[in-house]
Structure 1
Amino acid sequence: MLMYGFQPRAPYAVGLQNEKVQAAKDFLEEMNDMLRLAKDSIRKAQDRARAYADPQRRDINFEVGEQVYLRVPSRCETMKTGPCPKLSPRYCGPFQILKRIGKMAYQLQLPGNSQIHPVFHVSRLKKRLGESDNLIPDSEVVEPISVQSIPHEPESILRTREKRTRSHLYKECLVKWKDSSEDSATWERVSTLQRRFPSFSLPSQEFS
């Protein structure tokens, strides 16, 4: 007692005394009340969200063997087609359903080079209607523009101007293209014209 300044517990007394601090008890009860209140608030918020969402939902079911289109995942480069992935169709396929996984997922028969997991949520699938794989009717297909119809050689310079950016100053000219009217003239950088059309002579007094 002289060494420690208090009456130490003897080994036999350890665990026998059960001292309770009223402040700790009150704090624990307050935390439990706040936890119950938080759980009740979360449950009420979920119920409100469910009440708004459920009327707009509809059950979508597919049968094994049906053909469906797959909405291409945004990060899946192997399923996108065309030279520009950003302009690829939103849906690809059709693919055959091999198996139903649970209530909301299906396994598809994907090509061997797809390199993605073949199980998808039902929200990514769209049922194939009819036998045609062409998603755009023939009457709506726009004929490609012939390369020969695009003006590709400058004919004359109509006007010039200077443009300034934060870092430098550059010159532009209003170019009239061959076999095209002045209404179709476009503003082009002088450096771009000199690089693309080295044989085209620009007025030296304008760009000196």
Structure 2
Amino acid sequence: MVVVDRFSKYATFIPCSPDVKVDEAARLFFKNVVKLWGIPKSIISDRDPRFTGKFWRELFKLMGTELNFSTSFHPQSDGQTERINALLEQYLRHYVSAHQKDWATLLDVAQFSYNLQRSESTGKSPFEIIMNQQPNTPGALIAPYEGPNPSAFNFAKQWHEEQDISRACLEKAARRMKKWADKKRRQKEYEIGDKVLVKLLPNQFKSLRKVHKGLVRRYEGPFSIIERVGKAAYKVELPQKLKIHNVFHVSMLKPFHEDKEDPNRSETSRAPTGVVTKFDRKIKEILAERKIRRRGVPSHSEYLILWEGLPESEASWEREDVLWQFQTEIEKFKESATGTLRNRVGEGVTPQK
């Protein structure tokens, strides 16, 4: 867990497991941050389920802290922390052992070295802003050591070497990231009602995690802009089938240009996003419909399909979302089912005088 003070840029690196529970994450935050600096007035974080869950929200509501979340799949919204994450990752990648079990022991030196670096935006290091001075650092060691405790010398020597290496590595990574940060960035504004194409990432959909990412369509749409959120994000009107957050950073959008001569050009015969099933057979008849409800899983509809060329004994239940090729047949079935229900309701009813 990486925590960065927006004013001083002071960073705190907290080791924890990827599957840490929300109550344990809160305990680590209080132990490493609140205990030293107090309750923050506001927090900007990513949309990790631990931070968007009821426990975390209610906890900091009780503490009087305002919670803000970055735009979905756009980590630059919390760019300060994400930049430090990248720096820390590069440092650990160079010095972690092959089994990768000692990364937590490297965090102390990395945190100390990072907070010694002077920021270009403030002209001071985080230590100088908080303490009004740079802390003392390990001095040069005289070798060979002939004192009474070689183990103490080895400990100091290891800390000294790790601190020098980490500072050099972090400074090099910072220069590299600064060089490429704004190379491809562009500013674009949209109005409510504008049509846009949305960049949907494969890892947003469980069904696409096993397919080749390079062959997945990069943009979907067109969709309408329904609201502006902040200075660089927009709320988009997405189909109900896309169960994802509908606020996107401007970098995830691009304008849709309709073909005036052929308005149907934007329509596609490919499967909708998130669907990897396509049928080569035709439907002969839809026999029945059922609603599947399970605890913890969104409900969905299934249809009993009788395929052409197959006997009724081989009819199969199929989810509605994979029957995207047969929307006309589904609509007809729903209309006939509604009409039949109305007729049944009307049977045996005597109109009142």
Q: Work out whether the TM-score is over 0.5.
A: no
- TM-score w.r.t. the length of structure 1 is 0.39
Structure holding more helix per residue: 2
**Which has more strand, going by share of residues?**
1
